[in-house]
Structure 1
């Protein structure tokens, strides 16, 4: 009897020329973890994402991603491919801008917490893009930790040092906290009036600052809730209550002053995190160094 051999489509490892558009779409899918997010970012439909991914896998002869309930995750081959594909992406950006030795070029993605993004970075980072005409900066914020290894960002600024990954973490600031409100709101509390606070949304009650307030001021009324501390500072301007916010936000707002309630949470360290393999990538290195200097120049604002 003649034997019949069934061959998996990927098993022959057949390689063909790689299409840059396939690579670009793979990077987006790996970075954002879902067809819909990648499609929105590239302004294409889901079918295009799926077709381009399949084309790249056929070209490489490897399965690059697996679909799971939480989204698409990289296979070991996909992790390797993403590293090379990200280098291709950076090279394409550099070629598109023109190559100038020692001048940062292309897109550098920075991810930070909502408070640091809105209360400090947003008013300072655009100056870098103005000074370096070939440099673009993408500032995004998340409460959750993002993955540098998935190239969701090139630089992360976080309150917690990384627990794993081949990254470099630099401690760049120590952040202190205080209760801030309008002059009238502070005088009312200091005169013995009822304590009224502005806090986090119920969905974010697990955050350390929210838990600290619930523990130390369990009877205080929380009159207004907002998702992050910068929004809480804006709400505090109305006089609706006191907001427990970082000093770098409270001290920067002329409509607010600090109100001494005798207890405040412990200060927190801030870390700038980059991939170790990017330490020789001039654009990322220059931007990271510039951000470190921003924090160093205004050290007194934080603690």
Structure 2
């Protein structure tokens, strides 16, 4: 906006600032918005000029918000939420617009995809984006509208609803399981080194420290596929192991405690019709699939 006066904020600058704040780098923000990184840098400078304050500082690990940037982030996120609510039809009872759901990759690929993919046909005008992260993403930074998490959430002012429990078992081919049940040395599948601090990986290292780790992958669905090829024994949630052709449950103990599954949304979104529609759908499908998840 060429004739923009000092202090007049361009929403496009704000939108790009939000992307930088969420993704932490010019290149990642540029990819998310399908622009080049020079555009991101120029827009950030434009917003800083409008605000008269430095909003982000470049550090070796990426861009970090200043105190002013954090303040602007909160206001901008609320502006974005309001704009999205209008785009979804405001107070209409008909859910429309885009709802972004975030979940761990194994849960997304092994269960959620097939239970969320029919939503657009059931609710014409309601679109879904399903993204996956092993690490918890930030609802406060509006990286998603709904988050499905494993383990009781301890952070943020969110509405958190329990969806059930996720229990585990050891799964492998019949040949692998028979060998393990005869007492032969265990060859296991686990998480890759980047995710070696995941609870299941830590549990395996503690209870089976002498087992050979023959294959590593970053999610349970990939581990299950490797198990079907005879790579080893996989510690899997039942919802993955029970549905994977070619695997059976091995008689092997101990087993880790089951973990809680929760769905989170921002408190201010509790009356948002599209978001509430998806949350209620998730509660329904998890309740119906309880036997799949638990012992």
> What TM-score do you get using the length of structure 1 for normalisation?
0.86
Q: Deviations over 1:195-248 (max 9, x none)?
A: 221122233222221122122222222222212211100001112221001001
Residue 154 of structure 2 aligns to a residue whose secondary structure is: coil
Is 2:220 the counterpart of 1:229?
Answer: yes
Work out the CA distance in 1 between the residues paired with 2:29 and 2:87: 22
Work out the CA distance in 2 between the residues paired with 1:226 and 1:62: 44
Q: Deviations over 1:148-175 (max 9, x none)?
A: 1111112111123333321122221111
Q: Are 1:93 and 1:105, in contact at CA under 8 Å, matched by a contact in 2?
A: no
Is 2:169 the counterpart of 1:167?
Answer: no
Based on CA coordinates, which of the two structures has the bigger radius of gyration? 1
Work out the CA distance in 2 between the residues paired with 1:73 and 1:134: 37
Residue 296 of structure 1 aligns to a residue whose secondary structure is: helix
Q: Are 1:167 and 1:273, in contact at CA under 8 Å, matched by a contact in 2?
A: yes
Work out the CA distance in 1 between the residues paired with 2:47 and 2:179: 65
Pairs within 5 Å for 1:87-236: 87-90=78-81, 92=83, 101-236=92-227
- Cα 1:198–1:282 change in 2 (3 A) is same
Work out the CA distance in 2 between the residues paired with 1:68 and 1:130: 45
Report the equivalent of 2:7.
Answer: 15
Is 2:79 the counterpart of 1:54?
Answer: no
Pairs within 5 Å for 1:256-271: 256-271=247-262
Residue 194 of structure 2 aligns to a residue whose secondary structure is: helix
Report the equivalent of 1:40.
Answer: 31
Q: How many Å apart are 1:94 and its aligned residue? A: 6.1
Q: Are 2:30 and 2:36, in contact at CA under 8 Å, matched by a contact in 1?
A: yes
Work out the CA distance in 2 between the residues paired with 1:124 and 1:176: 20
Pairs within 5 Å for 1:16-31: 16=8, 18-31=9-22
Q: Are 1:63 and 1:75, in contact at CA under 8 Å, matched by a contact in 2?
A: yes
Q: How many Å apart are 1:14 and its aligned residue? A: 4.4
- Cα 1:170–1:145 change in 2 (3 A) is same
Unaligned 5+ residue runs, structure 2?
none
Residue 204 of structure 2 aligns to a residue whose secondary structure is: helix
Report the equivalent of 1:276.
Answer: 267
Q: How many Å apart are 1:85 and its aligned residue? A: 3.2
- Cα 1:140–1:257 change in 2 (3 A) is same
Q: How many Å apart are 1:249 and its aligned residue? A: 0.5
Q: Are 1:161 and 1:271, in contact at CA under 8 Å, matched by a contact in 2?
A: yes
- Cα 1:97–1:156 change in 2 (3 A) is closer
- Cα 1:246–1:130 change in 2 (3 A) is same
- Cα 1:165–1:192 change in 2 (3 A) is closer
Residue 118 of structure 2 aligns to a residue whose secondary structure is: helix
